[in-house]
Amino acid sequence: MIRTTFYRKVFELNGHPVIANGLRRFAQSKVSKPFIASFAKLYKLNMDEATRGLRDYGTLHDIFTRELKPGARPVADSPDAFVSPCDGYLSVVDDLTPESTFMVKGQDYTVEELLGSKEKAAPYAGGQVLIFYLSPTDYHRVHVPIDAKVEEVYTLGKHADPVNELGLKHGLRPLTRNYRLVSRFDVAGSPLAHVMVGALNVNSIVRTNEADTVHRGDSYGYFSFGSTVVICVPKGKFSFTREKGPVRMGEEIGKWHS
């Protein structure tokens, strides 16, 4: 009960810098190993699909960034399939304005804020934004949604506010203030922005794939403590083919139009 209460409180308060930094150090240390079983039980982790058994993980960080067995997340294989890059909850914003404005939980955001400049945002005017929220329960490795060339990778932001109901509703603006890893892909001559947004601490995003060419379903990086993935697509290049809601990495969520 003590361990369960501890972790529930930690994740409720995950925007607090002292909690964030302390949790990161603790989770990456061997001292955290006795808490693994309670963490897995609290968040109902499906360990049957993991590559290692529960006792084989040395730290909480290890189990949070666990890898899955081959085939645990089948990747859609139709030629024009656009797949979910992660496990999480998907919401979609259609028909961006010419200024590329979108709204989340009553707050207006712009792609310019998200990507860092008007120039970088311009290709997405009138396009779409796909937002994937990850919870502690989810598999926290992030993958590539479609075959592409990696044109540019950069980081923005310094904050570590919670990307949850508190942060989204009360003016913290985490999607465009938090530390984030922005990757600009080229998909058959069209741009695609792939953004990993951190939440619990500014060093929680790790890019694991340094290749110049990536393929649908390839592993790309992970969140040490989780957050959000945002994808921006140009107008007319993507059509949504499923319902909003819970998704798994590799599921087809739409079609890409070359």
C-alpha–C-alpha distance, residues 245 and 241, integer Å: 13
The span from the CA of 26 to the CA of 220, in Å, is: 25
User: In terms of DSSP H, where are the helices of the chain?
Assistant: 2-12, 17-27, 36-42, 60-64, 111-115, 118-121, 165-169, 174-177
Nearest Cα to Cα of residue 218 among 124, 155, 150: 150
State how far the alpha carbon of 147 is from the alpha carbons of 41, 103, 187, in Å: 36, 29, 7
Which positions are catalytic? 87, 143, 227
CA distances 98 to 23, 95, 155, 159, Å, are: 41, 9, 25, 28
Do residues 167 and 20 make contact, with C-beta atoms less than 8 angstroms apart?
A: no
- The beta strand positions in the chain, using DSSP E, are 81-83, 88-93, 101-104, 107-110, 128-133, 141-143, 148-156, 180-187, 190-197, 205-207, 213-214, 219-223, 228-233, 238-240, 245-247, 252-256
Cα–Cα distance measured from residue 130 to residue 216, given in angstroms and rounded to the nearest whole number: 17
**What's the token pair of residue 145?**
């949604």
